[in-house]
Structure formats: C-alpha cells, structure tokens
Structure 1
C-alpha cells in the first residue's frame, strides 16, 4: 500500500451501496498483502488447508478450512465487498456438512491453499498462504488490523519482498479467475 493512499473508513451510505443496508451484520476487514519467497516456519503457530469455491457471479465464497493437525473442519459461506484494495465489508454464515454439500454444487472456481498463522505480531494478525494447482509457487502474506492507522503504520515484514495490497490481481477472486499474475506493476 503506497503511503500517499489514504484508506477510508466505511460510512452507512457506502455500506448500503455495496449491498449492506444494515452494516451491523458485517464486519470491516483491514488488510495488507505481500509476496514472499518462503514461509517463516519458525513463526507458524497453526496451519489449515483452505478450499475456497468462488461462486460465479456474486461475491460469494464457500470455504472449507481443514486444520493440518487433524482438528474439526470449519465450513462457511462468506460475502465480501471491497471499499478499497485494503478495506472491505464481510459477513459469514457457518454451515453444517449438509448445507455445505448443497451449496458446493453452485457454479464457480476453486482455489486451494495452505494458510499458516503466525499469530499476532505488533498488533496485527499475520498469515502466510501457500497456493496450489495453477497458482503453485505463489506465497503471499497478509496482515489484518483493527484500525486504518495501525494498518498504514505497519512496516513490511522482513520475510516479504514486495507489497501487493494495491494490486487487485493478488486478491482471491482475481487469482481464481485470471491465474498467476506476472510481476506486479
């Protein structure tokens, strides 16, 4: 994220325009993303395999998260709407296996990755994703923040080499439809 980019907070009119007439049913995600050459394995506190179905058309994502330690799967349907490259509204519904099976028949494209949680670092929740399939070789970190100010002040992690927050080609929806981008602009 460039320093001159000022990220807006979300007002009720913006939320309504994005399809959230009652924004109290959504939460705000503030995140930055970076490309990495490797996962800092000495910092990993847990890992999950994600299988995301990006439903064709709407901004819906069906996610199966399976802990690598053998814990129970988490199944959910999520909806996102971007306010800016770094700020979005989200909502999720947790699903039973029967509900998940029903919704998994929707048309869309699947993205697979292993998400490594590094826990909280200097106030941010930090993750490193290792992508599979057509996106094999892509390793991307993301950090989630409580406030815009914290997000803007946070430095690039030492295990990353290039920030791609402002490059929409590195969002899940674009990666699953357009594939692995060339070098970021």
Structure 2
C-alpha cells in the first residue's frame, strides 16, 4: 500500500491548449463507493492496463488541496471483482500535458459529463503550490469546489452541474481524440 500526502490544485479549463491531442493519454473508469454517499472517498480505478483502489481524505477539515491518499495496486482479476460493486461511475480520458517543467493532468470527461474538462497540477511542496500562477488556458481554481470533486461528480450529468459551472464562467467544451 502506498500512503502519501497529495498536494494538488484543480482548475476548469478555458480552452484546449495547443498540442493536447498529441500528448500521452489514457482512458479511465472510476467507480466510487459507497454508492449511498454524496461524496464517496473510496475509488476503484482502471487506467489503461493499471488497476488500483484508493482512499482520499482531506488532511485539514474540508481543504481539498491537501489530502491523505492511500492506494493499493490491484490485479485485473481483483479489479474485476471490485467492479461488480454497485458504485457510482465516471468515464474520462486523462491527457498528460507538459507545462513549465510540470505535468498537467487534463481530464476530458465523457458519457453524461461530456463537455466538462478539468486540469490538475500536483506539487512537491506547499510553497510550490501556493506560489503557482494559474496558466492562461485555465479559467478558474476550483480546488475547493466540492461539486467538482471526483467522488461528487460520479453519477451526475453535465446538466446536473451546468448552473454552477455557468456561475464560474465555464462554457461546455467539445474535444476528442484524433481517429
């Protein structure tokens, strides 16, 4: 099991940065449990050929920028068993975009959340996280917006969150992988 403190900031995307379609990417399926929770903290993930179960909890109150993350790698067979659980599901494609010596993780949601694109930046220390300047291709810092957390987004549709996105100035974005 891997335990770590994750320092992360999340942004809504303003526009697709140049070259994103040429970046490495992987399709992801996240299953959040328990299904009855409005914001489940346990996630079962299939990312390409990797499988894992992760539990994330804020270290200080509800501050989503600093979370204790516990991850266990799974075999495909173990994942297949967990995937039978009645969890909330969300599909996305994650693009690994180089930005100023960092790697932005740009999540392009599909299915019922199509049109939503979020960008995560992870940091090595709090100083780097606090001094980070929002990139031009990002619209707004939504790190503390619980309605955009993975465990809260799962099981929702774009129309469920559209009013809140509109208040942040976000407009639905169309983007896809080249054939």
Give me the TM-score of the superposition, normalised by structure 2: 0.78
Is residue 17 of structure 2 the alignment partner of residue 35 of structure 1? Answer: no
Match of 1:62 in 2: 44
Matching of residue 103 in structure 1 with residue 82 in structure 2: yes
Number of aligned residue pairs:
155
Q: Secondary structure of the equivalent of 2:19?
A: helix
| Counterpart in the other structure of 1:81 | 57
**Counterparts of 1:82 and 1:49, CA distance in 2:** 26
1:1-185 matched pairs, under 5 angstroms: 26-43=3-20, 45-56=23-34, 57=37, 59-66=41-48, 73-83=49-59, 84-119=63-98, 121-180=99-158, 181=161, 182-183=164-165, 184=167
Structure 1: runs of 5 or more not aligned = 1-23, 67-72
Runs (5+) with no aligned partner, structure 2: 169-179
Displacement, 1:124? Answer: 3.6
Q: Which residue is 1:6 aligned to?
A: none
Using the alignment, how far apart are the partners of 1:136 and 1:25 within structure 2? 32
Aligned-residue offset at 1:179: 4.2
Is this contact kept in 1: 2:26–2:94, CA < 8 A? yes
> More deviation in 33-42 or 139-148?
33-42
Is 1:39–1:128's contact at 8 Å kept on the other side of the alignment?
Answer: no
- Give me the TM-score of the superposition, normalised by structure 1: 0.76
Give SS of 2:78's match: helix
